[in-house]
Structure formats: C-alpha cells, structure tokens
Amino acid sequence: MNVDKQFDIALASLQSIYTNYLSNFWTALGSALIVIGWLLTSEKARNYLASDRFAKFAVLFVLFVCAVGHIRIAFLFYNASQEKMRLLGNLGNALSPVYYNNYGIMLDRIIINIVIILVLLLLAATLVWRLKPVDKSQETTANFNGW
C-alpha cells in the first residue's frame, strides 16, 4: 500500500475518532441534563429516592460509575487520536499538519469536557444526596433540604 493511501486511511480514522468523541460528549451532556431535569420535576422520583435508602445509594453509585466511565472513555478517545496524529506526522504527506490538526483531540478539550460532565453529574448526585424523607405532617413531597 502506498503512502498516500495509508495517509488517507489514517486521516479518515482520525476524523471518525473525532466525530465519535463529539457524539459521546453530547450524549453524556444530554443524559446528565435529563437526569437533573428528572430529579427536579418528578415528584414520584424524589419521594421514592428520599424514602428508599438502597435506591438513593444505587443512583449515587450509578452516577459515580458514569463519571469514572466518562473519564476513561474520554482518555481512550484522546489516546487513539494522538496515535493517529503521530501516524499522520510520520507518513510525511505533503498535506500540512494544520489541516488534520483540526481533527485531533487535544488535552485541553478533554479536560474542559470532563469538567463540564463532572459538574453536571455532581449536581445530580448532590440533588439525590440532599433528598430527605417526607414528613407527612409537614409536606406532601420530598424536598432538597432547604433548596
């Protein structure tokens, strides 16, 4: 296989990694926002989580696993992207690195995206953690302990 063909394949792979990374980020962001919206708007969910300790800790555990999983997946994308960037540089095609650098996943992007997702997951976990059981004489729904 000639160098130009190898370069085209590596570039297509890098573009695919970048597209999949963005898809993963937007999916994680949307999922975190849905969880927060569900916690804020579902009276049944709040009451159930406030009254069932196992369910509350199960949700907190799932949020933790999602956070760790997101970090792991983000760095897998980062490593795959860096590997393709090195390969493209080594192939020495006449195409300027400025062109294919746009598809590289840089560490600063990874860190910013991880922080955004972690903040949202931490917010969701805080909402779950602060749920208190309903005092039947005081209120009709679980609340966020003063929120």
Give 77-93 as a DSSP string: HHHHHHHHHHHHHHHT-
- In the predicted model, is pLDDT for residue 13 greater than 80? yes
Assess if residue 136 is contained within a domain.
Answer: no
**Distance between alpha carbon 99 and the CA centroid of its chain, in Å?**
27
Is 145 a member of any domain?
no
Q: Which domain holds residue 56?
A: 3-129
In a domain, 135, yes or no: no
pLDDT of residue 66: 95
Q: What is the pLDDT of residue 144?
A: 59
Question: pLDDT digits over 71-105, tens only?
Answer: 999 999 999 999 998 888 887 665 667 777 888 89
**% of the chain beyond a pLDDT of 70:** 87
Angle between helices 3-41 and 43-51 (to 10 degrees): 80
pTM for this one? 0.82
Residue 8 lies in a domain: yes
Helix, strand, or coil here: 59?
Answer: helix
> What total number of domains does the chain contain?
1
In whole numbers, what is the pLDDT of the chain averaged over residues?
Answer: 88
Dig out the tokens for 85 from the structure: 């960037």
Residue with tokens 């555990």, as numbered in its chain: 61
For the residues 106-117, what does the mean pLDDT come to? 95
Would you say residue 4 has pLDDT above 90?
no
Q: Residue 34's pLDDT is what? A: 95
Q: Is residue 139 part of a domain?
A: no
